[in-house]
Amino acid sequence: MRALKYAAAASLLAVAPLASAQQLSIATGGTGGVYYPIGGGFAEIINDHLEGYEATAEVTGASVENMGLIMRGDADLALVLADTAQQAYEGSGDFEGRQIENTRALASVYPNAVQLVVLADSDIESLEDLKGKRVSVGAPGSGTELNARALLEANGITYDDITPQRLNFNETADAIRDGDIDAGFWSVGPPTSSILNLAATRDIRLIGLSDEEIANAQEQEPVFAAYELKAGMYDGMDEPVQTISIPNVLVVNADMDEELAYNLTKLLFERIDDLIAVHPAANDTTIEFTMGSTPVPLHPGAIRYYEEVDAEIPDKLRP
């Protein structure tokens, strides 16, 4: 039956002009991160399998900007970090005074790992060594900057202690390569293309976090979890590196049509192999990960799908 439905949809789209399809905008991030390929992969799945819709992945400044796009209705779906979504929903942190109560989630997609990168011959060995250094903390309005600032401040380091540079992923990699900065933060699903490209042209190191630094970060941001970057992930990375991770959430406006939210959620999980083929981070896109990691209520359309597959939905995820 599903095959017949998709066949009928394909036939209809073949004769109907694309202009008749309803446009969906997916807010992602910079091209050097994971949001853009994940969003682009999901857009392609929507275009191939959801009758009457045409989706496009948009390059943005990532999490904080994406929440504003959802609030204003300038994007239909967005990928955001869990702490950004939570702060927006509660009106806390960077969203104090501009609460976005109409935030709803379709799923949690994969965890970001906070990755602190330096050149191999750098004298930086720990967070403490960042003091007095030029450090990229991520693009303005990005989840990377939120994570970097939270991690630093939880461990007694403020922007006054460093020379912060607000650069996107590709700019950060270029600046490290050229010696314009001493270190750079990424909060992104590993491995990420911009670090892979940097490691192919320069010898790099990733700075690990101590148990105490991780505990301090978790005390400030409960959504942080310990995470191990595997050895061999990047050229020259001979040993695993301990850091922190944070889930990424696919969010929509509460006003999204329930049937559309249901179909998008169903499509995400039924075609997950297609998304994994685009980027391995999608291996973590599971119903179990969504139930355990999503910080804001689910959209009623998403709940309908999860109930159909007998998922155990925590009460906090029901709006």
Contacts of 125 (CB under 8 A, 6+ apart): 207
- pLDDT band at residue 118, thresholds of 50, 70 and 90? very high
Closest to 285 (Cα-Cα) out of 75, 147, 110? 110
Whether the pLDDT of residue 16 is over 80: the answer is no
Q: Which domain holds residue 288?
A: 2-111+248-317
Residue 242 and residue 310 share a domain: no
Residue 290 and residue 235 share a domain: no
Please report where in the chains the tokens 């990229």 appear, as a residue: 136
Residue 143 and residue 207 share a domain: yes
Report d(CA 254, CA 102) in Å as an integer.
5
Average pLDDT over residues 138-161: 93
More confident residue, 63 or 118: 118
Residue 254 and residue 184 share a domain: no
Residue 140 and residue 262 share a domain: no
Query: Lowest-pLDDT range, 24-28, 43-47, 78-82?
Result: 78-82
pLDDT one-digit tens code per residue, 269-317: 999 999 999 998 999 899 999 998 899 999 999 999 999 999 999 999 9
Report d(CA 246, CA 63) in Å as an integer.
12
Report d(CA 303, CA 319) in Å as an integer.
10
Residue 118 and residue 94 share a domain: no
Whether the pLDDT of residue 263 is over 90: the answer is yes
- pLDDT band at residue 10, thresholds of 50, 70 and 90? very low
Domain's final residue, options 246, 262, 286 = 246
Residue 130 and residue 73 share a domain: no
Whether the pLDDT of residue 219 is over 90: the answer is yes
Whether the pLDDT of residue 123 is over 90: the answer is yes
- The pLDDT value recorded for residue 225 is 82
Report d(CA 266, CA 78) in Å as an integer.
17
Identify any residues that bridge with 77 across adjacent strands, giving them in sequence order.
Answer: 26, 252
Residue 69 and residue 12 share a domain: yes
- pLDDT band at residue 188, thresholds of 50, 70 and 90? confident
Average pLDDT over residues 16-24: 72
Residue 168 and residue 102 share a domain: no
Average pLDDT over residues 98-111: 94
Residue 294 and residue 263 share a domain: yes
The average confidence (pLDDT) of the chain is 91
**Tally of domains in the chain:** 2
Residue 131 and residue 19 share a domain: no
Residue 40 and residue 186 share a domain: no
- The pLDDT value recorded for residue 6 is 32
pLDDT above 70 as % of the chain: 94
- The pLDDT value recorded for residue 5 is 34
Domain containing residue 178: CATH number: 3.40.190.10
- pLDDT band at residue 221, thresholds of 50, 70 and 90? confident
Domain's final residue, options 246, 263, 283 = 246
- pLDDT band at residue 19, thresholds of 50, 70 and 90? low
Domain's final residue, options 186, 219, 246 = 246
Please report where in the chains the tokens 């191939």 appear, as a residue: 48
